Chains A and B, each alone.
Chain A
Amino acid sequence: MLVRGHQAVAFRTAFTITGDAAEAEDAAQEAFVKVYRTLERFRSGAPFRPWLLTVVANEARNRRRAAGRRVGLTLRAAEHESQTTAPTSPETVVVVDERRAELLGAVEGLREEDREVISLRYFLELTEAEAASIMGCARGTVKSRLSRAVGRLREKMMEAQDAAG
């Protein structure tokens, strides 16, 4: 239950860092084993998930450095907003899909720490405290780092638009 309850977020956190499913699986597995071995040091009252994710992130970083490769994130096959109220034209759908793909491509093109903080906060929807724990910094630093990362992402998107004419 302990593993099952957290394995998805653990695996995705590891994947965010390694960009490789096999490495992410190894990292998450190793993290669970280490956490199990050191449960006695877990402080009562402290949240478990940040601790687990910190160990996961450390394992993932070790593997990222060793592997030196990453596979980019992809978008799920378009579901085309069947639940939205307003009908959407096929042209609009294509434009929106293209924009999303561009945005994801731009995120993937960011430097590592920018991509990481955006992924942790926007894609995995981790709390600031959890992201801070994973990144090894204060919560305020997560906020400022995220702000700067989004700023750089915006510049990248504008450059891409300018290049496209």
Chain B
Amino acid sequence: MQPDRDLDRELRDLGSRVEYPSTPDLAGSVRSRLDSEAGRPASPVRSGPSLWWLAAAAALVLLVALPVFSLAIRGTGGGMAMGGGAADSGGGGAVDESRTVPLMEEQEDGPSGGASSSAGALAGQAGTSSASSADAATGYPAEDGESEADSAGGATPGYSLGLGERITLREASARSEAPILLPRSPNPGKPDEAYDRVGAPGFILLYRAGSGLPDLRVPGVGNTGIGLVLTETSGDVGRAYLAGGTVRGAGLETADVDGGQGYWIPPGVDRLTVARSLGPSAGVLLWERDGQALRLEAGVSKKEAIRIAESVR
């Protein structure tokens, strides 16, 4: 149904005349709150921005600007080079410095006090996301239109993590030249959500926690309800996920996936600003299959991650 054109015009006109309450000084109140949470006296009047905000602004600039820089990862295997990277240490412990990706400064975690306050909110969203799915079997959203359940409101976990624009699986398929690859283990079936990689080719598939996939916990947020995030794009791993990516104080281990070379970034140790979206509780496995560069992120061991990766087809 096309919107009534006159009504459409009237609504646009009305929009310019709606009066909202004046916008409060959120910048000041947010700064004061962060200052007080950090144990510093709130200072509503300042001659300049606080270090916290400078750090936040710097982090944001870095996050947005990083893709334009190349990390100069060259060489063996999937277009990435790590000198001496042939042997797999087989664990997430000590990492050979020669296999460590050049690093960039990254700020430490923010205040840790937010976990309890925001965990409930996100957990609630995870709950409502179940209700907002239209496909009872897979939980996948309706391709067209909406169900009444969908209109119940509440964002899904992926939205809250800024994964990008949510799309249907059909749309994801249309955006890919190759068939969509899905893991057959531990939880075979369609993903719960799909997202367009805004600003980058490919798409993201999201599986909720359960069936052997732990609920990923994010600092400052709490449980996300997410068990696994699988990103697919054409090309090689180096260009797809690591050009411009940074890892500080940690290494990239090699990983054998179906006889091909992949890379494992263990959880807990590293911070990836580009290659990781879910924080330090998740490990990341990068590998290639059928001309596709894949990235798996989950709170599982390296061995389990490889097992899941090898089930992808």
Residues of A within 8 A of B (CB): 1-4, 7-8, 10-12, 15, 21, 24-25, 28-29, 32-34, 36-48, 50-51, 54-55, 57-59, 61-62, 73-76, 99-100, 103-104, 107, 112-113, 118, 122-125, 129, 132-141, 144-148, 150-151, 153-154, 157
Contact = CB atoms under 8 A, between A and B. Distances in A.
Given A3-B27, A29-B29, A42-B63, 18 more contacts: A4-B27, A7-B26, A29-B30, A38-B221, A39-B60, A44-B244, A46-B198, A48-B60, A51-B162, A55-B160, A61-B154, A74-B19, A100-B14, A107-B14, A139-B167, A144-B144, A151-B4, A154-B4
Contact of A29 (B4, B26, B114, B219): B26
Contacts of B7: 150, 153-154, 157
Given A135-B153, A141-B150, A40 B168 contact: no
Given A36-B56, A144-B146, A3 B26 contact: yes
Nearest to B20: A12
Contacts of B96: none
A48 B61 CA distance: 11
Contacts of B66: 44
A90 B63 CA distance: 55
Interface in B51-72: 53, 56-57, 59-60, 63-64, 66-67
A101 to B, nearest CB: 10
Nearest to B280: A40
B145 A141 contact: yes
Contacts of A36: 30, 34, 56, 110
Contact of B165 (A39, A40, A57, A139): A139
Contacts of A157: 7
A113 B152 CA distance: 8
A83 to B, nearest CB: 12
Contacts of A144: 144-146
Nearest to B155: A136
A32 to B, nearest CB: 5
A34 to B, nearest CB: 6
B107 interface: yes
Interface of B: 1-4, 7-8, 10-15, 17-21, 23-27, 29-31, 33-34, 49, 53, 56-57, 59-60, 63-64, 66-67, 106-107, 109-111, 114, 118, 121, 124-125, 128-129, 132, 141-142, 144-146, 150-151, 153-156, 159-168, 171, 197-200, 218-221, 244, 271, 273-274, 277-279
B34 to A, nearest CB: 7
A90 B267 CA distance: 70
A37 B220 contact: yes
B146 A137 contact: yes
A73 B19 contact: yes
B167 A43 contact: no
A135 B33 CA distance: 28
A138 B141 contact: yes
A12 B144 CA distance: 29
Nearest to B276: A41
A48 to B, nearest CB: 7
A1 B57 contact: yes
B106 A40 contact: yes
The 10 closest A-B pairs by CB, nearest first: A45-B199, A51-B162, A37-B220, A21-B21, A136-B155, A3-B27, A7-B26, A150-B3, A123-B15, A122-B11
